[in-house]
């Protein structure tokens, strides 16, 4: 029993050292081109300015006017929070990177080395987000400060904790969805059209374009899709659009989606590798 425990402990430490090595190496890679990374980060803040001007025109500076429970200040707050959530859940290049590695055969390195592909890519994305938020902290603070008149006060700590948990889980959902799309390349040579369709659906169904309250009257099942948790859910939690007593269920459903998508990724990878190997890859 003692030998087995020691063996398990050594294996666990080896896995943790491997994850830390992947994370550290990925952070160093991101910092090599830090100027380009910083510029691309700043450019991503421009759309929020457009959104503020757009909704200002829609509300016509009428503070009393509301739209599905949102006044102008709440709408500005919503888009600021959605921008933060999308920074967590967006995975640029993940699907195309997986598809390319399958197409050119470089996926074989994950089959002959003791490194799990999905785990390796996950920690690469964690490094990407860490570097992104270190660089984006200043611009985020500036934008939120400039829009401070529209921001609500801090909610109760359970709401804030639920907001943080939802943000972290939005990262996992975004990663798993895009990884799953990339793994489809085991069966289809070209997945760019699927990626385009996903980006369009995500833009509408995640609440990135408009709050889901404005969309649910046309698409009643929108609240049951995983896209909801990419942008809308964290913002809605912070703004109190989801009652506090419903927050545990909201987070539980988000966790269930993570489990479902994780299983789908594992099944797709295992089945895909079998199919890939059958062709002599």
Please write the tens of the pLDDT for every residue from 2-25.
555 656 566 667 667 766 666 667
**Which 3 state secondary structure label does DSSP give 67?**
strand
- 205-232: average pLDDT: 86
Q: 238-270, pLDDT tens digit by residue?
A: 988 888 899 999 999 999 999 999 999 999 998
Q: Within the chain, how many helices (H) and strands (E) appear?
A: 11, 0
How does the average pLDDT of the chain come out, rounded? 81
Angle, to 10 degrees, between the axis of helix 117-146 and the axis of helix 34-43? Answer: 60
Long-range CB pairs of 252-255, under 8 A, 24+ apart, other chains included: 254/166, 254/169, 254/170, 254/173, 254/229, 255/169
- Does 1 have pLDDT greater than 60? no
- Does 278 have pLDDT greater than 50? no
Report the pLDDT value the prediction gives residue 42, as an integer from 0 to 100: 64
> Percent of the chain beyond pLDDT 90?
21
For residue 280, name the pLDDT band (cuts at 50, 70, 90): very low
Report the pLDDT value the prediction gives residue 266, as an integer from 0 to 100: 93
Q: How many CB atoms lie within 10 A of CB 120?
A: 16
Better-scored residue on pLDDT, 161 or 49: 161
Token pair listed for 243: 């009652």
Q: 73-93, pLDDT tens digit by residue?
A: 888 888 888 888 888 888 888
How many angstroms from the chain centroid is the CA of residue 121?
14
- Does 177 have pLDDT greater than 90? yes
Better-scored residue on pLDDT, 280 or 186: 186
Token pair listed for 254: 């988000």
For residue 69, name the pLDDT band (cuts at 50, 70, 90): confident
- Split into its structural domains, the chain has a count of 1
Report the pLDDT value the prediction gives residue 214, as an integer from 0 to 100: 82
Report the pLDDT value the prediction gives residue 39, as an integer from 0 to 100: 64
- Most confident of the following: 120-134, 159-173, 176-190, 263-277: 159-173
Token pair listed for 195: 């990626």
Report the pLDDT value the prediction gives residue 140, as an integer from 0 to 100: 75
Question: Looking at the chain, how many residues does it have?
Answer: 281
Better-scored residue on pLDDT, 279 or 168: 168
For residue 281, name the pLDDT band (cuts at 50, 70, 90): very low
- Does 194 have pLDDT greater than 90? no
- 116-145: average pLDDT: 79
- Does 149 have pLDDT greater than 60? yes
Token pair listed for 23: 């994370």
Lowest mean pLDDT among 89-98, 129-138, 232-241: 129-138
Structural domain harbouring 85: 2-278
Report the pLDDT value the prediction gives residue 189, as an integer from 0 to 100: 77
């Amino acid at each position: 029993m003692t030998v087995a425990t020691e063996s398990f402990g050594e294996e666990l430490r080896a896995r943790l050292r491997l994850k830390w090595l992947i994370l550290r190496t990925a952070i160093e890679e991101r910092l090599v081109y830090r100027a380009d990374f910083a510029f691309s980060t700043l450019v991503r803040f421009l759309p929020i300015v457009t959104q503020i001007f757009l909704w200002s025109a829609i509300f016509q500076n009428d503070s009393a006017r509301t739209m599905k429970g949102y006044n102008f200040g709440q709408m500005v707050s919503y888009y600021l929070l959605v921008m933060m959530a999308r920074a967590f859940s967006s995975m640029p290049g993940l699907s195309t990177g997986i598809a390319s590695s399958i197409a050119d055969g470089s996926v074989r390195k994950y089959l002959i080395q003791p490194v799990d592909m999905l785990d390796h890519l996950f920690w690469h994305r964690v490094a990407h987000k860490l570097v992104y938020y270190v660089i984006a902290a200043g611009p985020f603070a500036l934008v939120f400060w400039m829009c401070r008149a529209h921001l609500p006060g801090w909610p109760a700590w359970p709401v804030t904790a639920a907001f943080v948990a939802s943000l972290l889980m939005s990262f996992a959902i975004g990663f798993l969805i895009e990884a799953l799309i990339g793994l489809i390349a085991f069966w289809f040579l070209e997945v760019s059209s699927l990626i385009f369709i996903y980006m369009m659906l995500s833009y509408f169904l995640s609440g990135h374009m408009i709050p889901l309250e404005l969309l649910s009257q046309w698409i009643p099942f929108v609240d049951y899709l995983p896209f909801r948790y990419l942008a809308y859910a964290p913002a809605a939690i912070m703004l109190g659009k989801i009652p506090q007593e419903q927050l545990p269920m909201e987070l539980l459903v988000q966790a269930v989606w993570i489990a479902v998508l994780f299983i789908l990724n594992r099944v797709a990878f295992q089945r895909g590798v079998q199919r890939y190997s059958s062709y002599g890859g």
